[in-house]
Amino acid sequence: MSDPLLKVENLRVEFQRSDGIVYAVNDVSFSIAPGETVGVVGESGSGKSTALMALLGLLDANGRVTGGHAWFQGADLLKLNRHQLEDIRGRDIGVVFQDPMLGLNPTMRIGDQIMEGMLEHHYASMKQAFQRTLDLLAEVGIPDPPARFRNYPFEFSGGMRQRVMIAMAIACEPQLLIADEPTTALDVTVQMQILALLDKLRRERRMSIIMITHDLGVATNFCDRIIVMYGGKIMETAPLDEFLHNPAHPYTIALFGSMLEPDDSEDWELHPIPGTAEPLLEFPQACPFAPRCSMAQPRCQTEMPQLRLFENEHWIACHRAEEVMSRAG
């Protein structure tokens, strides 16, 4: 396997709240290879967005990184100052958000916004940037680029705005694209269009993508490897086929069970995961999923399961992983 493009080690993130500290990301480690697409799956509060936003210096004001490293092109992203990080963000790492309106300036023509990134990063001259913006608009599937260049974000539909956002994110040909729920706010047919666009871009550019999503359907169809997060920890990670054939964490299995697929089935008994995910107000010393887990034992309430390596690059953080695997097999 080639050297990773990004290698995150023992990342910790905390948020200061009026009622104390929330431990949002707790010792998360993962890496992504050049050209690879990794899906980070989890529910709200799992820390999936927080972990990635922390790498980019995009945490809310009350959040801070309290530990870890994030190696990218020989530098530790977590040790860089704001200017150094801004230099990398948008040039070497592109970002696409769920709500394109958050990433777009409503008072600026979209063409100027796409050009701005290229000029700030000294990626292109004014003339080159202008021509490249027209090319990018065409590449992301926006008809009539010369006319649309002059439009403002509100003049676009949600799907078209997300295309503009993607054009901005890839303008400087980043090696890594971080896409945070890029299709969640979109209609299903538009979701397919955006995923088709990202699929084309990653193939043509050999760009790595980290896709943050709550949707197992999106993750398993789009990604080469899946990371499942819960309570600020990685619960399970495996290459796609291993993940599909041998899901081994009770939380992952419960997530599969929560997918309501529109197919005929005799057994339509729903088995929801009981309870809700609570924010962690103390540093977790035990499995964060234990309170909702149907397989939890006393040990799970007191002892943190470590991520353990099984066959086929399959990592699982569960005391009972062997039993779960043999049961499913």
Interface ranges with other proteins (CB under 8 A): 43-44, 141, 157-160, 187-193, 195-197, 199, 214-218, 220-222, 224, 240-241, 244-245, 254-264, 268, 270-274, 276-277
Q: How far is the CB of 252 from other proteins (least distance, A)?
A: 11
State the Cα–Cα distance between residues 139 and 153, nearest whole angstrom. Answer: 18
State the Cα–Cα distance between residues 146 and 275, nearest whole angstrom. Answer: 52
Which residue, 3 or 266, is less far from other proteins as judged by CB? 266
Which residue, 76 or 278, is less far from other proteins as judged by CB? 278
Q: How far is the CB of 192 from other proteins (least distance, A)?
A: 5
Q: How far is the CB of 137 from other proteins (least distance, A)?
A: 15
Which residue, 82 or 271, is less far from other proteins as judged by CB? 271
Which residue, 124 or 195, is less far from other proteins as judged by CB? 195
Burial 231-255 (b: 16+ CB within 10 A, else e): bbbbbbbbebebbeebbbbbbbbbb
State the Cα–Cα distance between residues 100 and 176, nearest whole angstrom. Answer: 19
Q: How far is the CA of 5 from the CAs of 10, 65, 193, 208, 273, in angstroms?
A: 17, 21, 27, 8, 36
Q: How far is the CB of 87 from other proteins (least distance, A)?
A: 32
Which residue, 65 or 254, is less far from other proteins as judged by CB? 254
Q: How far is the CB of 239 from other proteins (least distance, A)?
A: 8
188 CB-near residues (< 8 Å, 6+ apart): none
With vertex at residue 290, the alpha carbon angle to CA 289 and CA 295, rounded to the nearest 5 degrees, is: 115
State the Cα–Cα distance between residues 180 and 53, nearest whole angstrom. Answer: 9
